Each structure stands twice: as structure tokens, then as C-alpha cells.
Amino acid sequence: MARKSVLIGISGGVDSAVAAAILIEQGFRTEGLYIRNGFPTRAEVEAERVANEFDIPLHKIDLTRQFNNDIVEYFASEYAAGRTPNPCIVCNKKIKFRYLLKEIEKRGIDYLATGHYARIENRGIEKGFRLLRGIDATKDQSYFLFELGQKELAKTIFPNGEKTKDEIREMARGLHLGSFSERESQEVCFIPDNNYRRFIEDFLVPSPFKPGNIVDKNGAIVGRHRGIHSVTIGQRKGLNIASERPYYVTEIDSKKNRVVVGRDEDQFFAGLIAERILWVSPMHPDADSLDARTHIRYRHRGVTSKITFMPQERDSVFVHFDTPQKAVAPGQAAVFYQDDAVIGGGWISKGVHRG
């Protein structure tokens, strides 16, 4: 019987390197894929090193144009609109999994794989595949994968999902991967110095950003900002407002080019409205509402919530939190869980102070 084949996305970091090793150990005929995105780093050299170490083919595709159009422009335009983008989620759907899937279909390979810390459960023909948290709660990346559907999940393997980060590091040391045991993949790969503001200013020329007022919840001017891209929801430091009690950013109003601030108690929201809702399972809810645990950003602990469909808008929902939550940021993803399973998610359009 022929061995099953798999194409793994190799980024040059420890997670994808060890994931490739696990697949080989499990008996898969393994090949690698490196995606060029137009932002050269040492990652390509290190991806080649992984492939050489394991003696597997490494294919390369140049997606500079697609990455610029689908990820970088989205990233900059979201900041220009006063929202907080999440490029990793969009990249997973529009770049990584989209092109890995195309490549396995073109090359006649059975599966695709990545180094994400997540799991997939096959529940049979009628119930389909479930996306589950990785067993390492501190590294779980299922939040970033909520836009994957049944087509992707049916062809995907996550070798690292059943392991902890410590176990992955230990495996890397055992495989004599040297620096890979310490090196992490960049979270935002096209901004290696993490200076988002400078990157956006350099990308959007001429700049759409102008200085404007910082106002309190009553509209009184309390300070100035140098551009709405320079602040984020929940920010406290760097506002340069003289006050005995700290102010926090509670709203970014792009139409009026102003930033609204409040005290700590003003940061809490009773719920949110999310749009462009997607359901992972084909058994998506037909009821008018359901209960789930909602994560409003990566590393958020989640909050028990009631999710209600908006009237005549099945792709938008109102999410009511059991406990008010801080810093609900438009542009971020709201991802819904039931136990360990991601059932779906959407994009936050606004926070709601009163449920």
C-alpha cells in the first residue's frame, strides 16, 4: 500500500520544522513548501536548512503580489479606518491554506500541514470535521483558524496540536536543530521590528493621517493625537494627557478624526456586534440564538456569551457577555467556542456598552 503524502508549509521557525519531523516519523511521504511574500528575511535560508536536514523536497512559490493585495493593503486600510486588523487570520485563509490546498491538488498530494497548535476531529460524513484547541492552552492557535471550512479541514494535518511547546522544543533539541529550538516564527512576518505605525506611514503615501483631538466621553478636548493609526483600543501609555487618573482609549472615530478616551470603568462593554460570520461545522446553528464562549482577541480568556442572530441578517450577530469585557476593538475577530471546539466566528464591527 502506497504511503500517504503531505505538503507542509515550512516557515523557517521551530514549529514547522518539528512538525515536518513528526510527519516523517509517522510515515508520510513529506514535501515542503516555502511561500515568498516580498519581505525577504533569513526565513527562506532556514527553511532550506530544514529541508536539507530531513532530506525532503522544498518547493517555493512567489506570492508577493497576492500578499501585498490581500494582506498588506488590508492591514494598512484597517488602521486608516480606525479599526484594529488581524493579518494572521486573513493570511491563513487567503494565502497559506488557499495556496497549500492549490499546490496539493496540482501535485497530487494527499494532505497539507502546518505547524499550528490546533487539532482536527473527523466526526463522520454527516457531522464533518471539527476544529479543536491545541492541548497546550498557552500556545493554542485555533483562534487564528476560525475562517477555515470543511474543504480545508478535510485535507489538513496539525502535527503539533497534540503536543506542548516544551515538548516541541525538546524534540528540536533531540533532532539537533540548533537555533530552531529557540527561534519563533514572526507573528506579523512583514513587520520584523514590530513598528506598525512607521510601516503604515511608509506604505500609505501620501499619508491619510492627520493630527486630531482626543476627547473624553462628554466630548471635551483633553489632548491631541498625531494620527488615528497611532493609538489602539485599550491603550493607556503614550496619550500625553495630564490627569491624576489614567485615561484609556475607548473609541477611534475615523470620520471625525478623533480619539475618545475614558477612565478604567468606561472600558467595559456588555457585548458586541460581529459581521461576516462563518461557521466551521456544516451543522451550524439554525436556532435564533446559542450559547458559546467568545474570545474577542488572541490570548483573551474568553467569556460565556449568548449569541443572537441579527434580524434578517444571518451573517451578523449580537453577542451578549455574561460579564462585561474590556477593550472590544472593531476589526478584531470574535471567535466562538463550545468546550474545546471552534464553532465559528466573525469580525467585530462595534462594542455595545449596554446589552
Q: Which residues are catalytic?
A: 91, 189
Helix axes 73-80, 196-203, angle to 10 degrees: 100
Q: Is 328 strand, coil or helix?
A: coil
114 vs 143: CA distance, rounded Å = 15
44 vs 65: CA distance, rounded Å = 18
DSSP H or E run through 15:
helix 14-25
> What's the grid cell of residue 263?
477612565
228 vs 213: CA distance, rounded Å = 10
The closest alpha carbon to 228, from 249, 243, 203, belongs to 249
Alpha helices in 81-227 (DSSP H): 87-91, 97-107, 150-153, 165-174, 196-203
CB 115, CB 13: distance < 8 Å: yes
Peptide bond between residue 206 and the one before it cis (omega within 30 degrees of 0)? yes
CB 162, CB 146: distance < 8 Å: no
Q: Is 229 strand, coil or helix?
A: helix
249 vs 234: CA distance, rounded Å = 5
- CA terminus-to-terminus distance, the chain: 59
DSSP H or E run through 322:
strand 313-326
Return the number of other C-beta atoms located less than 10 Å from residue 184's C-beta.
Answer: 10
In the sheet that holds 221-225, the strands lie side by side as: 221-225, 212-215, 258-262, 248-253
CB 271, CB 319: distance < 8 Å: yes
Residues forming a β-bridge with 342:
131, 337
